[in-house]
Structure 1
């Protein structure tokens, strides 16, 4: 009996050593020591990450088997930091150093160059839903490729159509990324600032005004929404799903589960005779 109890105890200890352990810390500015809100923190490529809160505080759960893996800490306007999970566990309070944000080259043009106002992307708001963002996946993103019809194009606003959601209020970030040579999103952000919005989540469109940024583009781009915070989610979690349609048009959808996770492509073409989901994200533009 004693031998059985000892064996069971050792087994429990082994299991406990393998399960997720929490790291709790704070991210601050290296010059002012002020808290940095909504910083992305995650194990690169492992789908294990989170986002700091408004006061720069974060909690990152990890398995001890991953202690040698690289953690990336990043925020717009700051040089990203890479360190091992073991280093972060030893020094959980980290600082980021400000750096200049490289902006895309913009040519000054007369107002006459922008002759029309219209939309780019899928404007439908059908109840059919595709990718979701869940309350336990802070830093999770979903987005779609937006193709320009003319160049240059000035971005006026971005719209995200919600098909269904759990009750509550969320804080999210609007991201616009440069596309790589293969058409997938890169880490390069095109917006010159963090566009952070807090809104009740209800069925229908959420419109974000981007006109103040005067962003003029000469390239297709990737438009995404990133979950930063969910106020008082239900004990069993909460989520919201985005409207979608099916078609043969190119409207590539990519998603990642949390901060620093790899982008994955959504496709159901094998099941729908080549038809692809079209995420109901779009932008109003002048071109």
Structure 2
């Protein structure tokens, strides 16, 4: 089996560390600011404030200098920077950080003299096996991120949704944030955040979820060239160590680099436009390229095209759907139908849900494996044979 360990959040010894408790608030309203990124620039020392604006920052004297810069940043607010020595003094004496709101810059509207309509244009990557993956591990370093470059043509589009696959999640619940970044001049990884809505894109990941799809429509994120999209760990809801594994895209001829017998990255010959995956260990940390493999981040985007072109695309998509085999049935528990069961095809990555009557439909062919999941029930897997109708018995 080919294993790719893309991302590792390190646990640091508490020896030589000072722990500072603080509160981040709006300078005018004095209201707490949740989920602020706080950390030492370019280091592996950082955290994220909680829902009440509270945070704990660990400053290790053996790993940082008094002249290093502590940075506070949040969507909709001006970034604050101060030296480590000043941060120690302020957090020891006052423990309150006040942030000023910044002027809101809205994404511009698209205006055209031609009658245009939106069409869905998928971009990104999907996985067809579980051989490559990225992961968060252990219980420190909130604000750690995995980011993959998404290649698109130079035509304006709106991001509609993000989809990714969970291979393993040891935690009951984790809070994730989606970030979208532009590409810097030298393409050294993610650059400026493209989310101008001033609203965090947050998702609470529950245990046993397999395919996650996050609605990006409310944030009105527009791109007109290639970009980076990332997932960031901002909160864990218990004291259990984090063990979150996400699917990465499939490549061949990989060569795994190892240190202390632990996989840390990957090197291989790749197409020029496949830019791979970057990570940073904690808030405000340095972006580092760790692999030429892309995370399996799959997005639906909307582009404006003429009505004629849109009709041609829709007709082709309809014909493709009609050619595909459909499997249908009911999800049942103790003789009663169960609604809202998630059905997932591990080959195609298609997802569906059973309706209020427990009925489901999903495209599948012989030998496909379907997974049935719902909170409070055990995951059920079924390998499809020749049948087109089947009932699935769920278990608590």
TM-score by length of 1: 0.83
| Correspondence for 2:163 | 159
Structure ranking higher on relative contact order (CA contacts 8 Å, 6+ apart):
1
Task: Give me the whole-angstrom Cα distance separating, in 2, the residues matched to 1:281 and 1:121.
Answer: 6
- The reply on whether 1:230 has 2:246 as its aligned counterpart is no
Tell me if the contact between 2:184 and 2:191 (Cα under 8 Å) persists in the aligned partners.
no
Paired positions, count: 262
- Report Cα offsets for 1:4-63 as digits up to 9, x if no partner: xxxxxxxxxxxx997111111111110011111010110111111111111111111112
Give the root-mean-square deviation of aligned CA atoms.
Answer: 2.3
| Correspondence for 2:21 | 24
Measured after TM superposition, the shift of residue 85 of structure 1 is 1.6
Gaps of 5+ in 2: 1-12, 252-269, 304-396
Q: 2:298 aligns with which of 264, 282, 286?
A: 282
TM-score by length of 2: 0.62
| Correspondence for 1:116 | 119
Q: 2:183 aligns with which of 159, 162, 179?
A: 179
Q: 1:96 aligns with which of 94, 99, 106?
A: 99
Is the partner of 2:85 in helix, strand or coil?
helix
Tell me if the contact between 1:125 and 1:204 (Cα under 8 Å) persists in the aligned partners.
no
Gaps of 5+ in 1: 1-15, 268-275
| Higher mean C-alpha deviation, range 82-91 or range 50-59 | 82-91
- Report Cα offsets for 1:189-227 as digits up to 9, x if no partner: 111231112121435221110112333321111000111
- Report Cα offsets for 1:86-109 as digits up to 9, x if no partner: 212221211110001434444234
In structure 2, do the counterparts of structure 1 residues 242 and 114 end up closer, same or farther at CA, with 3 Å as the change threshold? farther
| Correspondence for 1:202 | 208
- The reply on whether 1:264 has 2:288 as its aligned counterpart is yes
| Higher mean C-alpha deviation, range 70-79 or range 241-250 | 241-250
Task: Give me the whole-angstrom Cα distance separating, in 1, the residues matched to 2:114 and 2:301.
Answer: 13
In structure 2, do the counterparts of structure 1 residues 58 and 111 end up closer, same or farther at CA, with 3 Å as the change threshold? farther
Task: Give me the whole-angstrom Cα distance separating, in 1, the residues matched to 2:208 and 2:129.
Answer: 14
- The reply on whether 1:78 has 2:94 as its aligned counterpart is no
Q: 2:39 aligns with which of 32, 37, 42?
A: 42
Structure whose CA Rg is larger? 2
- The reply on whether 1:213 has 2:256 as its aligned counterpart is no
